[in-house]
Amino acid sequence: MATTSDQITPGEHSSVCNPSYPLLPPELIAIVYDCLLAKRDLVTLGTCGVLSQSHVTPIRKRLFSTISLRLHTQPRSVSIRDLVRRIKGLTTMFQRDEESRTYTHTLEILDSFPVYDSQWITQQPCLPTLLDLFPNVRTCTFGCEVGYLDWGFFTPKLKTSLTHLFLSPHLKTLSLCNLGNMPTSLFDSAVSYLYLKNITTLHHSPVTINPSAVTLVRRLSYLNVQSMAMVNTESAWGVMQTHASSLKMIKLRVWEGMLCYF
């Protein structure tokens, strides 16, 4: 009597031992990637990118969607030295990989330490080059949470790079924190949401703009202002006047702690 093994041909035997498993739907794979990104498990997310060439693009879109250059101590300490190394590394990588830099939609450059001379922002020679590499930034945060940065002390290259970034027609949301002597022309932008925390403007120092640049359409609808001094409030008033025709809501918190909605 023939046994079961006698009734299975070599081809059938191999197919039984090595079944062909169906591929997961792309929508399910995308959900897995999004969960890893939400948990900030970037190591695992990056490892998924080496599974096959088809996974590289969706992984990079998530890994580079947000670039954050920010000092903090929790959950992992990030020092000025770490940020300098990160700025240089990102600059080198994005110069070589033009596609990946188009995936960055959120850019955060924020000093979170109580210092009054943020050398890592204003003096790093690679920072202006890095800023110029992002063509599709939608949300930008710049400044320092505690302290003060004077626009007048920025290098000419940094001023030019920040100007192009703030006036980009693709930028939708702009948050500026503790910055002084900013040219008023920087606020004649196309953003829809503008957050100003202790910002002062310099009325008689216009920024040189490339004449060939696309004419911006004013569309600011939401203005959030936090003012610690009268000079901050006066600067915010100038922004209100510039965008009076498009503003739909103004949230103003003055130094006395009073909160006003318009």
3-state SS track over 135-194: CCCCEEEEEECCCCEEHHHCCHHHHHHHHHHHCCCCCCEEEEEEEEEEEHHHHCCCCCEE
Give which of 108, 111, 169 is closest to 139, Cα–Cα: 108
CA distance 196 to 200: 9
Give the structural domain span for 41. Answer: 24-63
- pTM listed for this prediction: 0.77
| Of the candidate ranges 51-65, 112-126, 145-159, the one whose mean pLDDT is the lowest | 112-126
pLDDT, one tens digit per residue, over 90-130 is 999 999 989 899 999 999 998 766 555 566 777 888 999 99
Shortest CA distance to 166 belongs to which of 145, 184, 140, 144?
Answer: 140
Residue 214 burial by Cβ neighbours in a 10 Å radius (0-12, 13-18, 19+)? exposed
pLDDT confidence band for 29 (50 / 70 / 90): confident
160 belongs to a structural domain:
yes
Same domain membership, residue 141 and residue 55: no
Q: Are residues 51 and 91 in the same domain?
A: no
- What pLDDT is recorded for position 182? 92
pLDDT band, residue 2 (cuts 50/70/90): very low
Domain boundary among 10, 41, 63: 63
CA atoms within 13 A on the CB side of 146: 6
pLDDT (tens digit, 9 = 90+) per residue, 14-25?
Answer: 444 445 555 777
CB 144 within 8 A of CB 112: yes
Flag whether 15 is in a domain. no
Mean pLDDT calculated for residue range 199-205: 73
With a cut of 70, say whether residue 54 has pLDDT above it.
yes
- Distance between CA atoms of 154 and 164, rounded to whole angstroms? 15
**Is 7 domain-assigned?**
no
Distance CA 169, CA 214 (A): 8
- The pLDDT tens digits of the residues spanning 208-253 come to 444 444 455 668 999 999 888 777 888 888 888 888 888 999 888 8
Instruction: Clarify whether residues 140 and 188 are in a common domain.
Output: yes
159 and 45 in a common domain: no
| 166 and 48 within one domain | no
